[in-house]
Structure 1
């Protein structure tokens, strides 16, 4: 009888440890996905800034692709400041949006890792 109780306790301990490891793996994968998505968004915004400042051809396929993704990723920052120079406006506003993505991503990853 005592052996049955200790065997059940051992099995429950093993199951709990397995669940903890599984949860840690899931949270680790999720935090990596969040980090990659956030960093990719910030990178697209930064590339858009470089293209705008550098005077990239707006009809080029790559420039169109980056601009089409940068617009929704700007999350309302695209017209936060309205300087006279349109290149400066893109640099400031989309640069702030990129910083926002980096900070929000870092915070989300920390929260996810705290859960694990």
Structure 2
């Protein structure tokens, strides 16, 4: 395979890595905001919550402990780990193809 294709694959892999990292960061920031009792009416907190709910992979109610903060930490933490794994696998596949 030529250097142009390899370079293109590296660019795609880098974009995938950035997108995956941003998604993981959104989920982690949401967990931190919940743990620190951020004002849920704050625009930034609402924006992060909406994005986290979009990227939670349907895992928002996987664990339902008595303490809701633990539930958010577990559920969104598992989603963050899964997104991280998806990102690593996708980047490796693209780089291997390239």
- TM-score by length of structure 2 reads 0.97
State the aligned residue count: 98
Out of 55, 67, 72, the residue aligned to residue 49 of structure 2 is 67
Query: 1:84 and 2:45 equivalent?
Result: no
Where structure 1 has 5 or more consecutive residues not aligned to the other structure, the ranges are 1-18
**Structural mapping, 1:1-116, within 5 Å:** 20-116=2-98
Larger of the two Rg values belongs to structure: 1
Q: Following superposition, which runs of at least 4 residues in structure 1 exceed 3 angstroms of deviation?
A: none
Higher relative contact order (CA 8 A, sep 6+): 2
Match of 1:56, SS?
coil
How far apart are the structure 2 equivalents of 1:30 and 1:97?
A: 23
Where structure 2 has 5 or more consecutive residues not aligned to the other structure, the ranges are none
**1:21 CA drift (Å):** 1.0
Deviations 1:28-64 (A, max 9, x none): 0100000000000000000000001110000001101
How far apart are the structure 2 equivalents of 1:35 and 1:79?
A: 27
How far apart are the structure 2 equivalents of 1:29 and 1:109?
A: 10
